[in-house]
Structure 1
Amino acid sequence: MQSRKIIHAALPLSLMLALAACGGGTEETANNKAAPAAEHEEGGNAHADEGKITLSADQIASAGIQTARPLLGGAGTIELPATIDGDPQGTQVVSAAIGGRVVSLTRNLGQAIGRGQTLAIIESREAASLNAETEAARARLSLANSNLAREQRLFSQRVSPEQDLIAARTAATEARIALRLAQQQVAAAGTGGGGLNRIGIVAPMSGQVIGRSVVLGQTVAADAELFRVANLSSVSLSLNLQAQDAGRVRPGATVSVKAGGRHATAKITFVSPALDANTRLVPVIATLDNREGIWRVGEPVTASIALAASGGDSTVHVPLTAVQTDEGKSIVFVRTKTGFQATAVQLGDTAGDSVIIKSGLKGTEEIATVNSFTLKAELGKGEATHEDR
């Protein structure tokens, strides 16, 4: 291993000259004129200075180097495949309440639909029966109201007894209830389809048609699925975690979603309290904003979940900007009384803009977090200077 010496020239040439003018170079010249045998007597002292960079506080400030202590706790992230699903709260199945033949389809896949707008019209004998009952109930109510008005007039003229008025009022009330019931039965099946034998199937919510199971002229049974309508301004992210990882994920945790050059952040809304019987994994659902319409239902994506720290976790985190690479090794620069010491570290998982340090730091050190690349450059200059000698 090639040895490194203490680097005095860690700043631009103007500062180097300023230090030299203050006598920095005189001391080094005097040391160089000393008997060369002294270096051999010290043996490994050159190795003791390996990776050291000597800088004053003013020089550090002038170079824009900032320092901070590592963060303790947390377990980084885990990355796994996931699938985009329609939001369960924003997806509805539109089915046929009665059987019949589809005579009209007003929406196709991908088209927008408003709540209450007609999606399809079904023609059937059951529809005719429902509509006929409504018309008959309406006629009976009209007759009952007419009888009630007549009995009220006769009772006021003292021609008809009060019990006839009460009976007429009761009949009118019953006719009104019968009409309301008939109308509700039609509403449960759909809306007016333009004829006594037709029922219109309407959208239960505003959104987009994401599924259509019928074609024009098809005969469908009662409760058969016709359409799926979804409000895709918000979609769901379906994941499956190992039990040990799911125990460190809570609702509200962030999920980074990536696919095809797109990136977004989702929030976990559900962590299943039970394992899936088939996969032995824990289902997890996150909600993803999709108002721009860039995510598609069924699309595979890559998700990165930030894991919560476990009890007593002393995991060391440092900013990614604090880590540099030297001779194939990851290093961070630890603050010393005279400058910095390049310290080799072993990296773990990344968590946003930070990375876990598996070994090399205790977490109590003060490290360079901003402009650490400047220190790496000066470290390289020091190595080149030593090799020239």
Structure 2
Amino acid sequence: MKRWLFLVVLVPFLWGYDAIKISKEQLSDLGIKVITIDGNISGKGLPFNAYIDFDNKSSSTQSSSFDAIVTALYRREGENVKEGEVICEISSIDLNNLYFELQNTQNRLKVAKDVTQKDRDLYKAGVISKREYQVSYLASQEMELKVRQIESTFKIFGIDPKNPKGKYGFRVVARDSGILSVAPKNTGDKIPAFTTYIRISKNDDLLARIKLPISVSGFIKKGSAVFDENGKKIGVIQSISVVLDKASNTILATALIDQGNYRVGEMLDVYIEGIKPEGSIVIPSNALIKNGSDYLVFIRTKDGFMPTPVHIIEERNNLFVIDDKSVKIGDKVAAGALIALKGIINNIGDE
């Protein structure tokens, strides 16, 4: 078996590590190759978790201002619906009270309009004054405004006030045509007050919602490529929020997904192309090795390599971003089985 200790010469150097003197033949036997740092090294980017959702730029929502219970389901998330089509039925004491108020106000409005019409006729006949007629007219107008306000509340729910009741409760109908991207899932489910429980999207474009740690959010910009686990580009970053989520200390980024077969609600691992910080270079992970508390790059010299400590700014998928104080563009460095070079500088030989 070959013995490398007597073939390798260690030369003291100012880094605190000895320069390694080694032949090309030895490099080949050790499984080490030499690469050039050219600034064009690329990888999949920074790894993140993403939540797939519909692109809701063109969508309509229906929300609840009361607690309610789902009593029947006719359409589910992901299905296409047409405007006016029944999605589900819901039940609520508050809705029942509101419906009673609507019916009562409509009846009062009908009486008020009859009074207004009679007063108008009496005013034209000279029996009553104009002021008396105006009083009844304003009263009917106020009543009509009250009816419209109650009807508007039903419409926000998605309930048609002209045909509100179904077999099991109040009929919730689609206010628009499109894809039902949010809808109740089960009968008996509770719909909390002040929540959106129906959302209809105009198209089936998908977004990846990605929470970026504040520490790396500055390295990602609008237009950055997004890749899947295999390094295939699946979309681009569309927006990066300027608002910090204090609970998770993250920034929300959204990416338009135009490749791949994904489903709404799916969680997946994605990689985002990150910009290179100023004063840094990128090297492949197989060109760096940890030795004690140091991370070392082996820079090619005339007779071998110089073990050079570097400062890691950021770790990416199969890449490291390091500062450019120790390694420069154009430097040739060792890559591959660096454990052999690490053994040499630590006086460990191959017996």
TM-score range, shorter chain: 0.5 to 0.7
- Picking from 193, 200, 217, the partner of 2:164 is 193
1:123-162 map, 5 Å: 123-124=91-92, 126-162=94-130
Larger Rg, first or second structure (1 or 2): 1
How far does residue 176 in structure 1 lie from its aligned partner after superposition? 1.5
Contact kept? 1:117, 1:203, Cα under 8 Å = yes
Matched positions, count: 268
CA-based RMSD: 5.3
- 1:110 and 1:77 map into 2 onto residues whose CA distance is 31
- 1:120 and 1:144 map into 2 onto residues whose CA distance is 35
1:371-382 map, 5 Å: none
How far does residue 117 in structure 1 lie from its aligned partner after superposition? 4.5
Q: AA paired with 1:295?
A: Y
- Residue 219 of structure 2: aligned partner: 249
After alignment, is 224-233 or 258-267 more displaced? 224-233
Q: AA paired with 1:263?
A: K
- 1:159 and 1:127 map into 2 onto residues whose CA distance is 44
- Residue 214 of structure 1: aligned partner: 186
Q: AA paired with 2:237?
A: K
Residues 230 and 175 of structure 1: CA distance in aligned 2, closer, same or farther (over 3 Å): closer
- In terms of fraction of residues, the more helix-rich structure is 1
- 1:314 and 1:197 map into 2 onto residues whose CA distance is 65
- 2:95 and 2:321 map into 1 onto residues whose CA distance is 67
1:226-305 map, 5 Å: 227=197, 229=199, 231=201, 233-241=205-213, 243=215, 245-246=216-217, 248-259=218-229, 263-267=233-237, 269-270=239-240, 283-290=250-257, 294-296=261-263, 297-305=265-273
Q: Any idea what SS the aligned residue of 2:221 has? A: coil
Residues 1:181 and 2:149 are matched in the alignment: yes
Contact kept? 2:70, 2:184, Cα under 8 Å = no
In structure 2, stretches of 5+ residues that fail to align are: 1-22, 24-37, 284-304, 332-351
Contact kept? 1:75, 1:308, Cα under 8 Å = no
- 1:115 and 1:262 map into 2 onto residues whose CA distance is 38
- 2:246 and 2:136 map into 1 onto residues whose CA distance is 63
Residue-by-residue CA offset, 1:321-373 (whole Å, 9 max, x unaligned):
xxxxxxxxxxxxxxxxxxxxxxx9x9x9999xxx99989996589xxxxxxxx
Q: Any idea what SS the aligned residue of 1:110 has? A: coil
Q: Structure 1 vs Structure 2: percent identity of aligned residues?
A: 12
- 1:254 and 1:273 map into 2 onto residues whose CA distance is 19
In structure 1, stretches of 5+ residues that fail to align are: 1-46, 48-69, 318-343, 366-389
Residues 240 and 356 of structure 1: CA distance in aligned 2, closer, same or farther (over 3 Å): closer
1:1-150 map, 5 Å: 78-86=45-53, 97-98=65-66, 102-113=70-81, 117-124=85-92, 126-150=94-118
Residues 117 and 290 of structure 1: CA distance in aligned 2, closer, same or farther (over 3 Å): farther
Contact kept? 2:211, 2:250, Cα under 8 Å = yes
TM-score scaled to structure 1, two decimals? 0.50
How far does residue 303 in structure 1 lie from its aligned partner after superposition? 0.4
Contact kept? 1:101, 1:122, Cα under 8 Å = yes
1:293-372 map, 5 Å: 294-296=261-263, 297-310=265-278, 313=279, 315=281
- Residue 60 of structure 1: aligned partner: none
Residues 291 and 134 of structure 1: CA distance in aligned 2, closer, same or farther (over 3 Å): farther
How far does residue 252 in structure 1 lie from its aligned partner after superposition? 1.3
- Residue 30 of structure 1: aligned partner: none
TM-score scaled to structure 2, two decimals? 0.55
Residues 197 and 157 of structure 1: CA distance in aligned 2, closer, same or farther (over 3 Å): farther
How far does residue 105 in structure 1 lie from its aligned partner after superposition? 1.0
- Residue 63 of structure 1: aligned partner: none
Residues 260 and 284 of structure 1: CA distance in aligned 2, closer, same or farther (over 3 Å): same
- Residue 139 of structure 2: aligned partner: 171
- 1:103 and 1:362 map into 2 onto residues whose CA distance is 68
Residues 273 and 307 of structure 1: CA distance in aligned 2, closer, same or farther (over 3 Å): farther
Residues 287 and 115 of structure 1: CA distance in aligned 2, closer, same or farther (over 3 Å): farther
Contact kept? 1:271, 1:283, Cα under 8 Å = no
- 1:237 and 1:168 map into 2 onto residues whose CA distance is 56
Residue-by-residue CA offset, 1:91-122 (whole Å, 9 max, x unaligned):
99866544565442111243234566432112
